[in-house]
Amino acid sequence: MPELPEVETVARGLRHAIVGRRIVSVSLGKTDFIDDPVALEEHLPGRTIDAVERFGKFMLLRLSAAAATGRAPSNGDASPASLLVHLGMTGQLAPSPAAQPRGKHTHVCLLLDDGRELRYTDARRFGRIAYLTENPLSQELAAQGADPLEVTKEEFARRIRSRRARIKALLLDQSVLRGVGNIYADESLWKAKIHPARLGAKLSAVETGTLRRELQKVLQKAIALRGSSISDFLDAEGEPGEYQRHHRAYGREGKSCLRCKTAIRRGIVAGRSSYYCPKCQPPPRGFSALPLPSSKKKKTKRRGTEDAEKK
DNA sequence: CTCGATCCCTGGACGC
DNA sequence: TGCGTCCAGGGATCGA
């Protein structure tokens, strides 16, 4: 699942691969995850990809103003614009030779002037693509929280300690911090020895200081290792990342804590599976973990708290 | 303000 | 082998 390190990895790959290329034409498959599909077809052809940036979990393809042709641009194409791309859960963005057959869930193909196609593939279509001119773009970006890699200790503490929500929910909230998802939230909480269900307002200044430092270290190391490939993350070169080998909490239910050997537990916090060490990260009063799955039959029963029934 | 529930969507894991 | 069921989860949205 692409979070900040995975998106950064893809953006870096694309920077080398497609900056400077001109978009020749656009072809679309399913478009229910695109803000305004017609805008892509109308405004992308003729523009050059000037830069690829990352903003939280978003990628930004900065586009030149449309080339001055004989025809006067009557539709705003004289101004620079951007293609905003969110990879959701399963999105991939990578160039391929145009002659190469398209994968099953390829929904956007941008033919480039060097004969390749920049393709967006997304089985679950939890991603998002939008063509945005400067104003709508700055509004989008303004709604995002602080960059976790840049945020100061004071700012981080202010954004966390003023809130009554659980720390896990705050870390996942893109209007608090941009770019953190389930994996790096759990990993940094494990490193900082803070239980995910604790309330932001109950954390000490020392604890938020530790959490910020560990979060930054985790993100930086994950970027260096080109992200985590859990199910199907691949970068712009089609290569998996390496950071999943360094996970200490995420996905390790029942396995022993690498600090204290206690079995890692799983609980639902902010509606998401959350992995933690019950000894290193003492839970707040009233918090109950999910029962450990029996070793043989993996996970069969639920009996947690809130989701015993489903239609 | 914060919460849980629900929806979106599909592939993969699992039980039988 | 194959079918049914559950589950993953980022984000939007709605009601409590």
A27, A60 in Cβ contact below 8 A? no
In angstroms, the CA of A63 and the C1' of C13 are apart by 32
pLDDT at A70: 52
pLDDT in tens, A131-188: 999 989 998 898 899 999 999 999 999 999 998 889 999 999 999 999 999 999 999 9
Q: Is A5 a catalytic residue?
A: no
In angstroms, the Cα distances linking A106 to A30, A33, A128, A153, A206 are: 9, 12, 14, 42, 47
In angstroms, the Cα distances linking A193 to A251, A276, A302 are: 17, 9, 27
A299 beta carbon < 7 A from strand C?
Answer: yes
Mean pLDDT of chain A: 87
In angstroms, the CA of A25 and the C1' of C2 are apart by 43
pLDDT at A298: 39
A169 beta carbon < 7 A from strand B?
Answer: yes
A141 beta carbon < 7 A from strand C?
Answer: no
In angstroms, the CA of A153 and the C1' of C2 are apart by 55
Strand C-proximal residues of A, range 231-290, CB below 7 A, are 271-273
A194: how many CB neighbours lie within 10 A of its CB? 24
In angstroms, the CA of A115 and the C1' of C7 are apart by 40
A310 beta carbon < 7 A from strand C?
Answer: yes
A174 beta carbon < 7 A from strand C?
Answer: yes
The number of C-alpha atoms within 13 Å of A64 and in the hemisphere containing its C-beta is 14
Q: Sorting pLDDT into bands at 50, 70 and 90, what band is A293?
A: confident
H or E element, residue A87: none
Q: Is A272 a catalytic residue?
A: yes
A270 beta carbon < 7 A from strand B?
Answer: yes
Least confident of A56-70, A106-120, A267-281: A56-70
pTM over 0.85: yes
